[in-house]
């Protein structure tokens, strides 16, 4: 029987996941489809039950349900437990198992990441939590967290044995890091950066989890000083690739998919 997968969220029309997974199914000759489903927030539990009854093989979860869905799943993978959110759900014999592939997806796309890479995470919200959990799972030893609200950075850092840096010290100390991951919402709707007058070098990697606009002010600053830059598309593709692998056992191509999605 033809398998089918879904993404649930609200809103959902902007999601590129259907296109991405349909391309990968086609490339790997898998007879399956992937549909976006708009779920009303007060109907989340019924929707999750209905997906099971209707034979859905697995689904992605996006805003605003990544945390809210957790009580309606039968099992949680370590990745979901440590991040505190779920973005991928796999059908088991008896129910649903939740995973979080966001953090791992992002880290998988960073070039030359190793356990000794010195990482700075900017932000301490939901996205930062998932990334901090994934950094810890990969045993990355040198992680520092900074945030507008210092207390939240301290809480997150304590959980993962990371260091904390006061936001005011970040611009000057930036060259002490190999890779800086920007996880705040700053730059999404404005031409602002969380850093004023940062010092970048050409050995550094700047990662922004925002993909719209494709080049935030944070990435522009880094790019103009020669750093290697990556936007949130890498994370989007990376989390999708790991979800695809959980569902099918196949690691899909991540390099050409961006071009294929945006040219078709």
**CA 92/CA 109 separation, integer angstroms:** 28
- Identity of the residue, 186 or 237, whose beta carbon is nearer to ligand ATR in the bound complex: 186
Q: Does 62 bind ligand ATR (CB under 6 A)?
A: no
Name the pairing type of β-strands 88-91 and 96-99.
antiparallel
- The distance of closest approach from Cβ of residue 164 to ligand ATR in the complex, given in angstroms and rounded to an integer, is 13
Which of the ranges 8-16, 93-101, 142-150, 223-231 carries the binding residues for ligand ATR, by CB under 6 A? 142-150
- Identity of the residue, 78 or 149, whose beta carbon is nearer to ligand ATR in the bound complex: 149
Which of the ranges 70-78, 144-152, 225-233, 247-255 carries the binding residues for ligand ATR, by CB under 6 A? 144-152
Whether residue 66 lies in the annotated active site = yes
- Identity of the residue, 123 or 252, whose beta carbon is nearer to ligand ATR in the bound complex: 123
For residues 7-36, which are near ligand ATR according to CB under 6 A? Answer: none
- The distance of closest approach from Cβ of residue 22 to ligand ATR in the complex, given in angstroms and rounded to an integer, is 27
**CA 205/CA 228 separation, integer angstroms:** 5
Q: Are 238 and 109 in contact (CB under 8 A)?
A: yes
Extract the tokens encoding 19: 């296109």
Query: Which distant-in-sequence residues (6+ apart) come within 8 Å of 243 by Cβ?
Result: 58, 60, 87, 88, 99, 101
**DSSP sequence for 22-58:** HHHHHHTT--EEEEEEE--GGGHHHHHHHHHHTT--E
Judged by CB under 6 A, how many residues of this single chain contact ligand ATR? 15
**Element housing 91 (H / E):** strand 88-91
- Identity of the residue, 190 or 201, whose beta carbon is nearer to ligand ATR in the bound complex: 190
For residues 104-133, which are near ligand ATR according to CB under 6 A? Answer: 123-128
For residues 169-208, which are near ligand ATR according to CB under 6 A? Answer: 183-186, 194
DSSP assigned state of 251:
-
Q: Does 148 bind ligand ATR (CB under 6 A)?
A: yes
**CA 133/CA 157 separation, integer angstroms:** 10
Return the residue of 92, 149, 158, 168 that touches ligand ATR, per CB under 6 A: 149
| φ and ψ at residue 133, rounded to 5 degrees | -65, -45
Q: Quote the distance between the C-alpha of residue 3 and its chain's center.
A: 25
Question: Crossing angle of helices 150-160/126-137, nearest 10°?
Answer: 20
Return the residue of 17, 82, 100, 147 that touches ligand ATR, per CB under 6 A: 147
Q: Does 84 bind ligand ATR (CB under 6 A)?
A: no
- Set 2, 19, 66, 220: catalytic member: 66
Return the residue of 19, 28, 81, 152 that touches ligand ATR, per CB under 6 A: 152
Residues that bind ligand ATR (CB under 6 A): 123-128, 147-149, 152, 183-186, 194
List active site positions: 66
């Amino acid at each position: 029987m033809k398998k089918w997968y879904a993404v649930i969220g609200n809103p959902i029309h902007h999601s590129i996941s259907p296109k991405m997974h349909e391309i990968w199914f086609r490339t790997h000759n898998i007879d399956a489809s992937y549909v976006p489903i708009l779920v009303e927030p007060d109907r989340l539990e019924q929707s999750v039950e209905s997906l099971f009854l209707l034979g859905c093989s697995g689904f992605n979860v996006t805003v605003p349900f990544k945390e809210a869905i957790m009580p309606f799943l039968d099992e949680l993978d370590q990745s979901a437990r440590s991040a505190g959110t779920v973005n991928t759900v796999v059908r088991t014999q008896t129910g649903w198992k939740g995973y979080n592939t966001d953090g791992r997806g992002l880290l998988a796309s960073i070039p030359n990441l190793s356990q000794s890479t010195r990482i700075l995470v900017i932000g301490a919200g939901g996205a930062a939590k998932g990334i901090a959990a994934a950094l810890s799972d990969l045993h990355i030893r040198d992680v520092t967290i900074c945030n507008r609200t210092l207390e939240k950075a301290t809480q997150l850092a304590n959980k993962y044995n990371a260091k904390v840096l006061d936001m005011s010290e970040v611009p000057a100390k930036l060259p002490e890091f190999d890779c800086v991951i920007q996880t705040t919402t700053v730059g999404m709707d404005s031409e602002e950066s969380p850093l004023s007058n940062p010092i970048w070098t050409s050995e550094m990697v700047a990662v922004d989890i925002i993909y719209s606009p494709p080049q935030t002010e944070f990435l522009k600053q880094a790019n103009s000083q020669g750093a290697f830059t990556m936007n949130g598309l890498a994370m989007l593709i990376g989390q999708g690739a790991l979800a695809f692998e959980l569902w099918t056992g196949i690691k899909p191509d991540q390099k050409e998919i961006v071009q294929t999605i945006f040219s078709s």
